Structure 1
Amino acid sequence: MIQHGCVDMLIVATDNPFESLVSQDILHATPHEIYIFSLAELYELSMGKVASIHAENTWPIVLTFYTQLSLGYRCWHWLLDMCFALLGSCLLILVLPMIATLICLDSPGPIFYWQERVGHRGRLFRILKFRSMRVDAEQCGASWATPMDLRVTRVGRILRALHLDELPQVINILRGEMSLIGPRPERLSFVLPLEQALPLFQYRLAIKPGLTGWAQVKAPYASSLPESAIKLQHDLYYIKHQSFTLDICILFKTIIEIFWCSGR
């Protein structure tokens, strides 16, 4: 059927879920132009996430996609970070008096909230946010944030809905600890068990964590292991397919989320 031009698309099932190169024998067997995809590639194109997060021995191959990023794209990513950090810093200065006043009037405690997170290549850094929870929110230890979390203050709920609680992270971007786009920086107390349960979780650290990202705009907040696994699939997809077009798509979706007040 291929020889007679009856096939427009060929899907190839391989043992390697990350394999993107189709056998040369198949390519030579196609006398006319057809679309050839591996099963994993088709899954990624249709779902926007990698097909598997369990084939640990194959993922280092995929990291070559990241190391081969063009100089032009790397410059674009750096300029995007710097432009946003500078503009965000100006916005932070403008809204700081109002937000600081509201936080102080709503609940006792500091205006800002420092928290240790795991960053690029496992380096720890302190993330800066506007305080949106009570000061005694973690008396019983770290826990996942949940919908309608009772620890969140009234002003904090508004800040989270508009993602304004994350605005001070422009300082982390200026310091080179974060990027505008990348995987969400997680707490060490969450990272250790997630790395044990999800072998590929460590590969999120191949790039800097981001203020927004593909996983953040494609999947809801993770409050369980299964939800974290889905977000991991999206994070690894971004690492594998980083591009100018994908970054623009993420920024567009982020703006829509802000207008829809989807934060929590």
Structure 2
Amino acid sequence: MYRFFFKRMVDVLVSLCLLLLLLPFFLIIVVWIPIATGEPPFFFQVRPGKNGRLFKLVKFKSMNEKKDAEGKLLPDDQRFTRTGIFLRKTSLDEIPQLLNVLKGDMSLVGPRPLLVEYLPLYNSTQSKRHEVLPGITGWAQVNGRNTIGWEQKFEYDVWYAEHVSFALDVKIIFRTLARVFKREGINASATVTMEKFTGTKKPQ
């Protein structure tokens, strides 16, 4: 019952409350990013959601668009702005995703929405992570985030998809808040990014 009805109600109510609570920060960041970096305040990217349905994810922009001599974007760690690093460390860059939750594209808790190009690379088990809405935070995020490999991350995602419950969501939210305030685990380094997923390694 929670999975199919009450979870959505909780998402909407909590997201509305958080947006109202964080509105001053939201407005300040919207104004500050263009002033400090010369970049637009928002980052948009198409990501796959539940059942692989595509949606446009929104976050506060933390990287610039600098390119090399060949016109290719520089590596992520070379494009982070000072403002972006601060937003990442404090997780304030995630605030706009509350709008994705209100729209029904995301949930507060669920597997993180990854790149569209990964969809054909998942095996049949890993694909189960798309049986639920993606989340702002999730079981993998409170169990290592970028410090664990793709295989382990997907195991956590699939386990969550198979064990969704109110108690589990509350546990994940509180563990997320604890790590944000302590700046450990999920955001210990604002510029740590995962290498791209290239498919599950097959046994030799």
TM-score range, shorter chain: 0.7 to 0.9
Q: Does 1:107 align with 2:107?
A: no
- Local SS of the residue matching 1:256: helix
User: Any unmatched runs of 5+ in structure 2?
Assistant: 191-204
Cα displacement (A) at 1:137: 6.5
1:80 aligns with 2:10: yes
Q: CA RMSD for the aligned pairs?
A: 2.3
CA displacement 1:66-123 (0-9 Å, x = unmatched): xxxxx24543312220122201221343212321233123211211111110111111
Preserved contact between residue 142 and residue 189 of structure 1 (Cα < 8 Å): no
Contact 1:118 1:124 in 2 (8 A): yes
SS state at 2:95 partner: helix
TM-score, scaled to structure 2: 0.81
Residue 216 (structure 1) aligned with residue 144 (structure 2): no
Mark the CA change 1:72 to 1:188 in structure 2 (over 3 Å): closer, same or farther. Answer: closer
Of the three residues 87, 91, 101, the one matched with 2:21 is: 91
Partner amino acid for 1:249? Answer: K
Question: Residue 181 of structure 1 corresponds to which residue in structure 2?
Answer: 109
- Over 3 Å counting, the alpha-carbon distance change for 1:84 and 1:142 in structure 2 is farther
The match for 1:37 is none
1:171 deviation in Å?
A: 0.7
Q: SS where residue 150 of structure 1 aligns? A: helix
Does residue 154 of the first structure (1) align with residue 79 of the second (2)?
A: no
* Residues 1:168 and 2:96 are matched in the alignment: yes
AA paired with 2:150? Answer: S
For structure 1, list consecutive stretches of 5 or more residues without a partner in the other structure. 1-70
**TM-score of the superposed pair, with normalisation by structure 1:** 0.64
Aligned length: 184
Among the aligned pairs, what percent are the same residue? 34
Give the SS at the match of 1:180. Answer: strand
Higher alpha-carbon Rg: 1
Name whichever of 130-139 and 174-183 sits farther off.
130-139
| Residue-by-residue CA offset, 1:113-142 (whole Å, 9 max, x unaligned) | 111101111111100110000123795369
In the TM superposition, structure 1's runs of 4+ consecutive aligned residues that sit over 4 Å from their partners are none
Whole-Å Cα distance in 2 between the matches of residues 242 and 207 of structure 1? 9
Answer whether contact 1:92 1:168 (CA < 8 A) is retained.
no
CA contact 1:217–1:250 (8 Å) conserved in 2: yes
